[in-house]
A and B are shown apart, each in its own frame.
Chain A
């Protein structure tokens, strides 16, 4: 699906992740900033990528600022930002949840 708007979800509180998403040109590009990047960077990017793909987004520029969020939080924030970007936040695609 096409990204309609640039969107954001999440906060910079500890144990949260703030994700911004915009139109991309070449696949899903993720720019991650995290204190646990060394230990969990690949895992965090993987959760974001899989969640976006499940929502039929395969081209996007993502900027994520992680404050030690767990996978469930990363997934929830990615889902929210995907729905906002697709302009379907009022009618989220429940089937991909």
Chain B
């Protein structure tokens, strides 16, 4: 057998040298983004002066525009309520097209079986995505795809599209409304999802843009997030999505005492840091603890008469409540996690739709994440170097997504909120199975027993020492505490084969994911 040679990157991960060279990748070096000048990739424009782009057949669009070897893309704003992806992929499989690169903003569970089918049919031979889960993650982790999947953050994908690392031939973008020439938004219609943030990249850079909608409205349609200047075809279909599955309906606050304890500690860390002052900015996720943080933060902001200049990222109804109460001046909205957030975009001029580049791209003239003070992020695993894994489970199988994790972690105060253990799985571990976000970006880990602060943040260590309600441990102490509870797991066995590469937001490779052996 031939020896596989490895490169070691700056978070001490082995990367397969052959594959790295073959794909033209460089190993991860640092979280610092150098000031430099980059070129944007050109894209083709098929000139149109006609007054109607509406077609009734996906088949016709596929047959006339998709060919073997192309790169096709989708967005994931419909999440688990998406009907568009499966409809289009099935048509492409039926057309017998082979060797496609699938480059969606992410893949949700409802798409899993169709992607597996497309891989088996030879229709899809390359994938780049923010993440994958379920049957698809399982299949890829067991070597279903010949070529490695490239995982990219939301900001990283925007960069890759702008630079031409992802060169989209045809983008299939589902929208809840469009006029006959392709002016569309995510706010009106049956299946509304609010911000079109991730899809705006595809609309701007794909050679061909195909909108799919169940709702053709009169011309001209405003506000237009996607514009007629970008769109080649508008295809009328029966239903683009299931509104009930796009987002959770009413967001309920967690009653889990562990999550509440973590959330209140996160709030203590924020409010006792130097960043908690009038005009600060923050981003929270959509998990139970993150939503509870929003509630605690609201109280603290009212008590201290502090207002935030903006909230960023994936938006939920509790965030909109802060906006309406005047506690947050602006919401910079790349996607909406629930109906309340999606619907309010329509009525509130202070809820600004932003594209993935504006949100998080490291290679533009200034992204929102660069201005971010405080972010609360989750973790499947975090190790004693503060490296975070949000991609592979404790069994080594792919079941997660980079999302905006790497991007938002560049905030001035990056907090990971996570329980010490989940069932029998430790969250704080000696070494994460996959490094997604480098420890260099992480400042504080908050668990239900206490917090650990990155030693490079002596200022935070000094500040938190003065807070009696927040017990401070070293990360090693928390790791030992977790391992004492759950015991020592048997190491996962992998083969030599690389099934996926994880890019850092600047396009360097931060880790390689191996095929699991069972």
Contact = CB atoms under 8 A, between A and B. Distances in A.
Q: What interface size band does chain B fall in?
A: 10 to 19
Contacts of B423: 14-15, 35-36, 67-69
Contacts of A39: 394-395, 424-425, 489-490, 492
A70 B485 contact: yes
Contacts of B485: 70
B424 A70 contact: yes
Interface string B481-518: 00001110110100000000000000000000000001
Interface in A48-87: 67-71
Interface string B16-60: 000000000000000000000000000000000000000000000
10 contacts: A15-B423, A36-B489, A38-B492, A39-B395, A40-B489, A40-B490, A43-B487, A68-B422, A70-B486, A71-B487
Contacts, number: 42
Identify whether the interface residues of B are mostly helix, strand, loop, or mixed. Answer: loop
Nearest to A67: B423
B490 A69 contact: no
Interface of B: 394-395, 422-425, 485-487, 489-490, 492, 518
Nearest to B486: A70
Nearest to B397: A38
A40 B395 contact: no
Interface of A: 14-15, 35-36, 38-43, 67-71
Contacts of A70: 424, 485-487
A68 B423 CA distance: 5
Contacts of B425: 36, 39, 68
Contacts of B424: 15, 36, 39-40, 68-70
Nearest to A41: B490
Contacts of B422: 68
B428 to A, nearest CB: 15
Contacts of B489: 36, 39-40
The 4 closest A-B pairs by CB, nearest first: A68-B423, A39-B489, A68-B424, A38-B395
B449 to A, nearest CB: 16
Contacts of B487: 40, 43, 70-71
Interface centre among A35, A38, A41, A69 (most CB of B within 10 A): A38
A71 B421 CA distance: 14
Contacts of B518: 38
A15 B485 CA distance: 12
A9 B490 CA distance: 27
Contacts of A41: 490
A41 B424 CA distance: 11
A71 B423 CA distance: 11
A40 B487 CA distance: 9
Nearest to B396: A38
Given A36-B394, A67-B423, A42 B486 contact: no
A42 B490 CA distance: 9
Given A40-B487, A41-B490, A69-B424, 18 more contacts: A15-B423, A35-B423, A36-B394, A36-B395, A36-B423, A36-B424, A39-B425, A39-B492, A40-B424, A42-B490, A67-B423, A68-B422, A68-B423, A68-B424, A68-B425, A69-B423, A70-B486, A70-B487
Interface centre among A14, A15, A36 (most CB of B within 10 A): A36
Nearest to B395: A38
Interface centre among A41, A69, A70 (most CB of B within 10 A): A70
A36 B486 CA distance: 11
A38 B486 contact: no
A36 B421 CA distance: 13
A70 B422 CA distance: 11
